Structure 1
């Protein structure tokens, strides 16, 4: 609600304006009244008001003098001038001072109300512009902070931008932290959360009740985490204020989104130049760990060993698993998967690598039973999985989808299609086309293409690409060959085309696949 001050040495006029105009209806309230300019000026010490309606001719200080004084103190206050004199010099000076309107006494209330409504529209537009300016400023700051954290900004450019965007560079302690928002089975999807808005709210809460010289800046990163910059003027911890602030923000995220959030605090650095290093330790920790379901937690990264743990874990007994798959023992398959992902103790997080490797081995074993495996079902969701239970859920879903199709009645292909499939199996490295194969089988290419799609359920080109991607996947995971070499071995002589096709059918690039499946 906007605030209004009425200033006039005639009490009847003040009372009349208070009573005649429905201020509530105009979303305004009378903040005070004064009988001269000096009295009004003293009242402004208690706080600015949005609108002052003032007479011009008053004892001790005129309305125009009052306007000049208040303009210096409160540049956003608006003014309406009242006068019993129709003198051009008052009108001209009022216009030069930027008043909204100049009204003669007795005041025409319709004109006054029209002026107020016009000002309401101006205020609304100003608010919209201010919001847009704030959002633009925040978007720019988020972008600079992301580039700073990733070390993709020139040092000189960062210093210039930091000064403009009020990013502190002269503190004694810099520390990165992250809030990772994790969805659950109730439909809370972190991908649909407005991270910028959540980060803004976290920053407001995080800065409440901090020790002197301390501060928090929050910004979303491109991986869906909310990154935090803790700064302080002292190298001392001061009672763990980082933990207290992060705990408040973590709780707020859970309340606003309905999703769980984990908090990770990185190592402290003595200058702003060390912030990217602290960010890396946090992101590395998140990259290398899986969480348990249940309560959220806050973890502090103390060393590089914390961020990059190593855990010996025997892989699954694949011969036994292959047999269970061929036998179609769904219950036994589930029991086998449960044992692979069984953990002991009450740890809240585990090294990611051994569990991811086991998961990929199990899912690839299932895919080997499919005639046209879709590797996107495996590798696409992996980058979005952060909990052990979600990983086990993905393995079960993938394996059961294969079992449901593999153990249905075996499809019998016609001799022509059997010949085509045999050629693909033995010569997938070569250039293959329906035209060449149709000549060998003495069939029209169009007829062979229709027959292939009818019996196999996909086009010939899709089948060949999927088969090649299957062979490439095995080479990427189980050999040290370079990607370009693998592309040639499976029939792609253009590496760029191979990358595009691999991404299309596997859901990730060859490089991303190898980074997901990290053999220790």
Structure 2
């Protein structure tokens, strides 16, 4: 079933479009409505839609801007424009953007339905061409498998696609597994070749399997190779799964010279349980850090083990660390970090949360020394870290960068700039501008702007935004306030603008930040 989004700032138009066409009869489903382009884009963060029917003139983002932005993200989305404007410039630009039709309000329903029928024929032809090409067939299968694993596909659509793509649905056991490839900092990233590696794994894994058993491999959006183990037997012997995963793991290690970890999830009795098995694997990976061993294979026995935080780690001695930072004792700082991240024993993996939380505490402590902290180099890399050693390296890198600048000669600001910095510190939640401040200081705004950039090393607007994001970061990490409330407290009255600025300066969204920093 094709997905449809309606975008118009007139609610009556949207309601009318929902009711006047039999969408089910046309094998289509309205998955969302929006009153402007920005709202529509945010709704598509969870995935693209097949068809967008949009007005042109809307607040915040026009329909034409929405089309351009959406096509940059997903060139396969189709568009129909509904407009009250017959001006040639809109028609011409709509045609240049490749829209399916440009219809004037009030809409001629026969013409609209004819346009939809035409698009359906185009979709059918496109699907046939893709299926006839082996690579396109594999891409389509990977997409269906990803949506199946994430439970983002309609049951009826999955059954139809599974039959076409030879995904088994009548086996007695279904089990998910994952191969995570972790390359070194030097050389090529193995994940660049993930599609080819995945195809190779499937070929190797399916050799010498017991009768009735099979393996399907597909890459997921996090860069892991996901595996579907199926079996027609009911004896519950999973030894063949371990043997096949070992063969694939060894082949990937030899080809990429990278560390490879294999995780096997829970077995389920029907294809409906495969997403649950996938979740158990991904949850286990999310909750653990690995030691720097070469390769290993582990089995997730049950959901309780998947969430087991078996490694208890007390937090760092922050008062001591703050003193070392202020004293600038780099050798002692490094010794402190090394000792904290030193783990005795022979464990292959550790609970991620306590180590991540402690690492963030240490890096934020260093950032507090900076006048204009940039949080992008903290939170951006965290999602790509899977080993304890890499986490330690990130902490040392961030701390060293701060100490290199902090313990140089202190800058002496002019009285005018000191006054500006004091205003930002005490009134960052208010509307601030160089024009207003220049009037208070009796300076020309252009001169004040040049003086600020010369002494502080950044523009006034960047400094204000960085300061606000710093305050927002502390509220996100150390309070339970909602994101919209925090945005207002630090001076952003438009939540959408706050999200954009936060992602720009911190490297992750507010939601992602809180997800990374899971509270103990």
What TM-score, normalized by structure 2, do the two folds share? 0.74
Superposed, which structure 2 residues align to 1:259-298 within 5 Å? 259-298=258-297
Matched, 1:395 2:395: yes
SS at match of 1:491: coil
Maintained 8 Å contact 1:357/1:518: yes
User: Does residue 453 of the first structure (1) align with residue 449 of the second (2)?
Assistant: no
The change in CA–CA distance for 1:389 and 1:201 in structure 2 (over 3 A counts) is: same
Partner of 1:207: 206
The answer on whether the counterparts of 1:337 and 1:396 sit within 8 Å (CA) in structure 2 is yes
Does residue 300 (structure 1) correspond to residue 299 (structure 2)? The answer is yes
The 2-side partners of 1:194 and 1:243 are apart by 24
Where 2:263 maps in the other structure, the secondary structure is: strand
Distance 1:132 1:270 in 2: 33
Q: CA deviation at 1:187?
A: 2.9
| Residue correspondence of structure 1 range 216-255 to structure 2 within 5 A | 216-238=215-237, 240-255=239-254
**Worse overlay, 333-342 or 425-434:** 333-342
Q: Which residue of 1 aligns with 2:80?
A: none
How far 1:253 moved relative to its partner? 1.1
Contact 1:145 1:219 in 2 (8 A): yes
Q: Is the 8 A contact 1:190 1:224 kept in 2?
A: no
State the SS of the aligned residue for 2:176.
strand
Whole-angstrom distance in 2 between the partners of 1:224 and 1:377 = 21
Tell me by how many angstroms 1:196 deviates: 1.2
Please report how far the alpha carbon of residue 237 of structure 1 lies from its aligned counterpart in structure 2 after TM superposition: 4.0
Matching residue of 2:356:
356
The alignment's TM-score, normalised by the length of structure 1, stands at: 0.74
Q: Which has the larger radius of gyration?
A: 1
Q: What runs of 5+ residues in structure 1 fail to find an aligned partner?
A: 1-128
Determine the C-alpha separation between the residues in 2 that align with 1:188 and 1:227. 21
How far has the Cα of 1:188 moved from its partner? 4.3
Partner residue in 1 for 2:118: none
Listed as ranges, the matches of 1:90-239 within 5 Å are 133-191=133-191, 193-238=192-237
Matched, 1:312 2:312: yes
CA contact (8 A) 2:179 2:263 kept: yes
Q: Distance in 2 between matches of 1:384 and 1:313?
A: 22
Distance 2:153 2:452 in 1: 53
In structure 2, the partner of 1:338 is 338
Shift of the alpha carbon at 1:252? 1.2
Counterpart Cα distance in 2 of 1:239 and 1:359: 38
CA–CA distance in structure 2, aligned partners of residues 207 and 494 of structure 1 = 54
Secondary structure class of the residue paired with 1:297: strand
Residue 365 to residue 190, structure 1, CA distance change in 2 (3 Å): farther
Aligned residue number for residue 510 of structure 1: 510
> C-alpha displacement at 1:158, in angstroms?
0.3
Per-residue displacement from partner, 1:284-325 (whole Å, max 9, x unpaired)?
Answer: 000010001122100100011221122432111111110000
Supply the distance in 1 between the matched residues of 2:235 and 2:196 (Cα, whole angstroms).
Answer: 31
Q: How does 1:16-55 map to 2 (within 5 A)?
A: none
Q: Distance in 2 between matches of 1:228 and 1:143?
A: 14
Distance 2:488 2:323 in 1: 33
Give the CA deviation at 1:235: 2.6
Which residue is equivalent to 1:9?
none
Structure 2 CA distance for partners of 1:267 and 1:303, relative to 1, 3 Å = same
Number of residue equivalences: 391
| Distance (Å, rounded) in 2 between the aligned partners of 1:428 and 1:131 | 56
Cα offset, 1:137, TM superposition = 0.6
Gaps of 5+ in 2: 1-128
